[in-house]
Amino acid sequence: MRNFTSLELAFIGDAIHTAFVRKWALLNHDKPINELHKICSKFCSAVLQSSVLDTLELTDEEKEIARKARNAKIKHQAKNSGTAEYKKATAFEAIIGYLFLSQNYERLNYLLQKSIVNGGTDAI
């Protein structure tokens, strides 16, 4: 695997997390698409991703990826979160992207499942 920047890892991690959440919502909620979108938007928000990151037990390698992603020069801000939350959400997405690109699917699935469980029912 080539060396990707933290923001490149977050870029793919965002897509992987979003696809996972959408699949989960579709399989677990018999609701119209607009309601599914609202559920997914909450689970994929910077606020929720930031709080999920706080609950995860990360490996040393994942901690290093998160640290680099939090310190990356981000050129924009999420509209519904503060800078600290946005940077932590970027760190979460970078970890997801790293695990996906390194094909560590067991760990990836574990963290994605935790993002749903730790996101709680408040998001629904």
Domains and CATH numbers, the chain: 6-123 (1.10.1520.10)
- Give 45's DSSP letter: S
Contacts of 68 (CB under 8 A, 6+ apart): 6, 94
Convert the pLDDT of each residue in 11-60 to its tens digit: 999 999 999 999 999 999 999 999 999 999 989 999 999 999 999 999 99
Q: How many CB atoms lie within 10 A of CB 91?
A: 28
Q: Which of 14, 30, 54, 60 is catalytic?
A: 14
Name the pTM for this structure.
0.90
- pLDDT digits over 70-114, tens only? 888 876 766 677 888 889 999 999 999 999 999 999 999 999 999
Active-site residue flag, 30: no
